[in-house]
Each structure stands twice: as C-alpha cells, then as structure tokens.
C-alpha cells in the first residue's frame, strides 16, 4: 500500500497488492511500494476495513496481544484500585482493534467484533485470566458488525460462570450489568457525567428518556429529585432498572414507562405533561457518515420535543454517542431545536468520555461521546 500515517485502519482501496497464502482473519505484514515497513495487523478481504493494525513493528502476534492487554491493565491501575467497575480494554484506543472488555465487580464481560480478534480469542482469554484473575468471563459478542465479519453471535460464559445480572458498584451506588441487555450489559462511559447532575436534581420532577437500566435515574434520586419517570422501549431494561432502584433503597418516587420515546414525548406534549429536568441519552442514530443526515434529524426531533416538555427555565441534559456526529454538529442541532422552539439555551456543564475510554488524537474514531447540560429559558 501507499505510505500512510499511524492510524490503525487500512481500507480495501488502499491495498495495492497481496502476496503469499493467507486466510481472512490471519495476521499479515503491510509494506509500502518502496518496501518500507508499515505495520502488522489482521486482514479480512470481506470488510471495507481490510486490515486493522495491531503493531507498527514486526512482532509475534501472540506475545503482542499479551503485552497490549498487560499495558491496558496497567493504564487502568488507579481505576482497579479505587473503582469496582471500569472499561479494561477499549479496542483501537488500546491497539486491540475489535476487542472490548468491561470489568463489573469480580467479573469480566468481553465483546469481540472482528474476525481477526476472534482468531486471537484463546490468547486474549488466557491473558485476561492471568492479569485479572476474574471470578468469571462472559462473552457478549452480539453486535451487528460480527455478521459483516462472517461471524455468528456468541453470548455465553467462556470462563467459569456467574449471575445473569452481574452486581457492581459505581459512585457508591449498587448496579446490575445485564448479560441479556445492551452492549456489555451496562454503560460505564456515563458514570462520571452522571455525577454532574448533583447540582441540578434537588426537588426536581424528572424524565430519564432512553433510560435503559436507570443510571441517570438513580443518580437523580440520590441527589434529591422529587420524582423520576424512566422511559424505554425495553420491558426487561425497565424491570432491571426497577430492581436497581429498589436495592438502593428507592421503593417510591419513580415510575417506569415502556414506550417509543419519540412517540411518547409527542403524547406527553398533547397532554401538557411537563418536567423540571429531562435527560436524553439515546442509542447511536448512525454508524457511518452516509447516515449522518438521519442521525441529525433524530437528535433534533427528540431534543425539540424534550424542550417543549420543560417548565421554563428547565434543565435539559442531552447526550449523543453517535461517533460520526461531531461535537460542533451536535451543538448546532441543539441550537436549531431551540430556535424552532423560540427558547434560549445556556450551557451549564459539559462532559465527555471517562479516562478508561481514552481518546487517541490520531484515531478520531475513539472520540464519540457528547454530554451537555443546558438551561432552557424563555426568550426575553
């Protein structure tokens, strides 16, 4: 291929020639036309990302994976000492493309999204067991990307066993990671952003939309919210959320609503139901830049509806995990929704990914999370 930067992705149209015998998923060496060495990575000719580099040097891949995992664990040493849960491995950000590992209490949940990493799974498991000594490892490899890589879904205990709902603690509160839920069972990337609600929750009537298992709802109640409505399309997620709230001592002051958030916000508007504070933490609305227009429409619609439900002044907490939507784009969407509602937005707090979800500046794809707390005001 042509000379390139240190970004770990090599697209199919960048490969000029291939030599030798290999199968998809095998580790191969990449060189430039002048024979200078570019790196070593695993190949999949069925994918638009033909090669994902794991090293810029010609090293043994098994030893390399062991070293990469060891380094990732060392980078999280302070988290492992002080926190019960954290992201242990964050794919390209740890130069382990296709691998996500989250730690929940004594257990690990892994997600493998690429064929190359699937072939390296035995050494991944062996190294994680040695480094962490977990009580069990659950594999929750059920993302849509696996089908594109020619892989079947895998959801099972791959080392020892454990509970369906894995207990762990965050911010001195008790949580449950659902092995039958989304992603690895919980969303650890919002645990620090949730602490930013402390100054805004007291005595508020709140809506936690796209609530999943209630991370924001629990923080709001702990910080003194008068009442929280949890809204999600998944009955199971709401049941798990109710159990999480119960084990934290909140038997009352909340309700759960199973509904499509877009539809239910319109329904609430027609009934003149209002809130003091609304949290919006939707799933990703787009996986590629080609879908960014539909993602922008989705974010604008849901934020526009939420603003209409707020008593003025009111607090709108809006997040986006759509990686292809940049922060400045997200802010423009919020501004447009405010203009269409004839209200003013004042930014009170901004959050981002926690340090165990690091952003590598040379790999912009590692940056995805936007989190903004605003006050929605009537225009003077």
Residues with a known catalytic role: 321
246/252 Cα distance (integer angstroms): 9
What is the sign of the dihedral through the CA atoms of 267, 319, 7 and 117? Answer: negative
Neighbours of 131 (CB within 10 A): 15
- Evaluate whether 98 touches 364 at the Cβ level (below 8 Å): no
345/375 Cα distance (integer angstroms): 6
23/42 Cα distance (integer angstroms): 10
286/198 Cα distance (integer angstroms): 31
Which of 314, 362, 354, 334 has the alpha carbon at shortest distance from 75?
Answer: 354
**How far lies 337's CA from each of 15, 20, 146, 207, 304, in Å?**
43, 55, 36, 19, 5
Bond into 313 cis (ω within 30): yes
Token representation of residue 2: 């042509």
Neighbours of 180 (CB within 10 A): 13
């Amino acid at each position: 291929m042509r000379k390139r930067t240190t970004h770990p992705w090599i697209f199919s149209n960048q490969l000029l020639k291939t030599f030798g015998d290999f199968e998809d998923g095998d580790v191969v060496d990449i060189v430039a036309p002048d024979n200078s060495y570019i790196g070593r990575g695993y190949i999949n000719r069925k994918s638009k990302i033909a090669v994902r580099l794991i090293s810029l040097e010609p090293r043994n891949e098994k030893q390399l994976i062991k070293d990469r995992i060891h380094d990732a664990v060392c980078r999280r040493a302070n988290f492992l000492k002080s926190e019960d849960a954290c992201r242990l491995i964050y794919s390209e950000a740890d130069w382990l493309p296709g691998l996500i590992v989250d730690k929940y209490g004594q257990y690990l949940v892994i997600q493998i999204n690429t064929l190359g990493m699937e072939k390296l799974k035995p050494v991944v498991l062996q190294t994680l067991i040695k480094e962490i000594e977990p009580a069990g490892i659950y594999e929750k490899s059920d993302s849509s990307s696996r089908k594109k890589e020619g892989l079947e879904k895998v959801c099972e205990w791959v080392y020892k066993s454990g509970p369906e709902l894995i207990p762990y603690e965050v911010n001195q509160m008790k949580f449950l990671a659902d092995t039958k839920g989304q992603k690895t069972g919980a969303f650890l990337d919002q645990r620090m952003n949730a602490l930013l609600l402390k100054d805004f929750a007291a005595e508020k009537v709140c809506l936690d939309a796209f609530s999943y298992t209630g991370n924001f709802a629990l923080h709001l109640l702990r910080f003194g919210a008068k009442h929280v409505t949890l809204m999600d399309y998944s009955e199971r997620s709401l049941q798990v959320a109710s159990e999480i709230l119960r084990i934290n001592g909140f038997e009352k002051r909340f309700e759960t609503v199973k509904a499509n958030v877009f539809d239910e916000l319109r329904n609430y508007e027609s009934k003149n139901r209002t809130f003091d504070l609304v949290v919006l933490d939707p799933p990703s609305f787009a996986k590629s830049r080609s879908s960014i227009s539909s993602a922008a429409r989705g974010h604008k619609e849901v934020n526009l509806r939420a603003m209409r439900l707020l008593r003025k002044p009111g607090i709108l907490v809006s997040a986006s995990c759509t990686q292809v939507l940049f922060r400045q784009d997200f802010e423009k969407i919020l501004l447009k929704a405010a203009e269409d509602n004839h209200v003013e937005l004042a930014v009170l707090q901004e959050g981002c990914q926690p340090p165990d979800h690091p952003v590598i500046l040379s790999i912009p794809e590692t940056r995805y999370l936007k989190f903004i707390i605003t006050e929605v005001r009537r225009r003077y």
